[in-house]
Structure formats: structure tokens, C-alpha cells
Chain A
Amino acid sequence: MVKVSTLFYRVDGFNEQNTLSAIPDMLNQDTGDQFLESLLGPLILDPGEELVKTIFEKI
């Protein structure tokens, strides 16, 4: 017979909120950079040449 208290025993240091261990590949820096590149690569917004020209007018 298992005591009810045993079922709820919590190991010291264990944190169920910590999801890092569930996604070990995300700990790799290169993998992270590749993921960001694939995600953010298309997101480049061009301010246009006119905005650059105004910089030189202000100097």
C-alpha cells in the first residue's frame, strides 16, 4: 500500500516550471542562431533611400 503523502513527495530542486530540459536543442547557441535566422530572415524592412538622403541634409 502506498501512502498518499509519497505520491506528492517533491524532490528538492525540481522545478516543473522549468521547461529547458524538455528542449535540449535550444540550449545550443548555433542552433538558436539558425532558428532565429530561419524565423527573422524574411523580416527585413527597408526605410528607403530618401530617409538616408535626409541624414546628409542634416549634417
Chain B
Amino acid sequence: MKYSSLSDQDLVQAYIKGDRSAIEVLINRHRSKVYTYIILTIKNQQLAEDLFQETFIKVIQSLKAGKYRDNGKFLSWVIRIAHNLIIDHFRKEKQMNAISNDDSEVDLFNSKKLSDSNIEELIIDNQIKAEIRILISELPDDQREVVLLRHYGGLSFKEIADQTDVSINTALGRMRYALINLRKLIHEKNLSLTVD
């Protein structure tokens, strides 16, 4: 079977019917978006790796238990699980404010995908990623949350509102101010954020 051509829904159904390889394809298809969402939210590489694993373990357990309702948005569902695990973690640890930007110097760019690039391209690529990451980290928490759920999870504003326990208008308002703030920060820092 050629897995790469199958949709997320097809792969989910194949896994539910007992094809173990299907879930591996699904995880590998979405691993970067889920990992990026987690690490941009919590800013700690070790914790991000733990929560990444926990997320997909819960995904697998939920699929086995028949808890997944296929609405064609597998990635959004996974991101919501990751979001809930992050919230649970901070509730347990009670250290939401203790996580500081001091952890932001971890090596986030150890990507195998980039290993074949030449050094100069790698440096430029890393600089751009670092600058974008700084921009995101400077957003207020509630605005950053909406931006990441929207971009990496593809959640609708209704889903974001439900997930973050606010009204749709509040979610939309947070997005509007996030976009305004991002543009302002780009202007203030005089960033181009593109490779020439």
C-alpha cells in the first residue's frame, strides 16, 4: 500500500482496522507541526519532547478506544490534545510564570532536514527562525496561544474559542491584536524575515 498518497482519514481508518504502519505515517506526516506548536508554547526543549511523546501516546490510546470522531481535521484534533496536555502540565506544576525565556537558547535547529544544507544557508535559516521565534515570544500569552492554534493546528475561531474557554469575539480580538503587534514588532526591529 502506498501510504503517502492516503489522506489522514484513510490512515486513521486503516490504523483502527489494525494496520500499525498507518499511525507511523500519520505521526511522521504531522510531527513537525505538532512539535513546533508545543515548543513555541512552552519554550523548553526537554519538556517539549516529553509532551510531544505524551500527545501521540494519547492520540494512539484514543484511536484504540474509539474516541476519535472523524471530521476530517486530524491535525486540529492532535493539536487540541497537545494544548490540553500543556495546560494540565502547568496546572500540576504550578509554574506557568516560572518558565522564562532563559530556556530559549536551547538548540531548536537540530533538524535532520537541514543537515544537507551548506553552512551559510543553515546560518541564515537559523537566524530567520530565531528572529521569528523572538517575535512570537514577545506576544502576550493569550495572543500567542491563538496565533499558534490557528497557524499550526488549523483550528477555526469557534474551535479556538472552545479550546481556550473564551467567546469567539474574544478569540478574534486576540488574533487581531496579535497581528497588529507582530507587524509593529517587525517594523520596530526592522526585520525582513526572508532569504534573498
**Interface size in chain A (residues, C-beta < 8 A):** 28
> Which of chain A's residues have a CB closer than 8 A to the CB of B77?
none
Contact B49 A51 (CB under 8 A): yes
Does B73 sit at the interface, judged by CB under 8 A? no
- Given contacts A23-B183, A45-B35, A46-B113, A40 and B151 within 8 Å (CB-CB): yes
Interface residue SS majority, chain B: helix
> Which of chain A's residues have a CB closer than 8 A to the CB of B24?
52, 56
Q: In whole angstroms, how far apart are the Cα atoms of A49 and B183 in the complex? A: 35
B window 147-164: CB within 8 A of A? 147, 150-152, 157
Output the least CB separation between A4 and chain B (Å). 33
Output the least CB separation between A19 and chain B (Å). 6
Contact A52 B36 (CB under 8 A): no
A window 37-51: CB within 8 A of B? 37, 39-40, 42-49, 51
> Which of chain A's residues have a CB closer than 8 A to the CB of B175?
32
Output the least CB separation between B20 and chain A (Å). 9
Interface size class of B (residues with CB under 8 A): 35 or more
Q: In whole angstroms, how far apart are the Cα atoms of A54 and B60 in the complex? A: 13
B window 17-70: CB within 8 A of A? 24, 27-28, 31-33, 35-36, 39-40, 48-49, 52-53, 56-57, 60
Cβ-closest 4 pairs across A and B: A47-B35, A46-B111, A45-B36, A36-B151
Contact A47 B132 (CB under 8 A): no
- Given contacts A44-B36, A49-B28, A27 and B176 within 8 Å (CB-CB): yes
B window 55-107: CB within 8 A of A? 56-57, 60
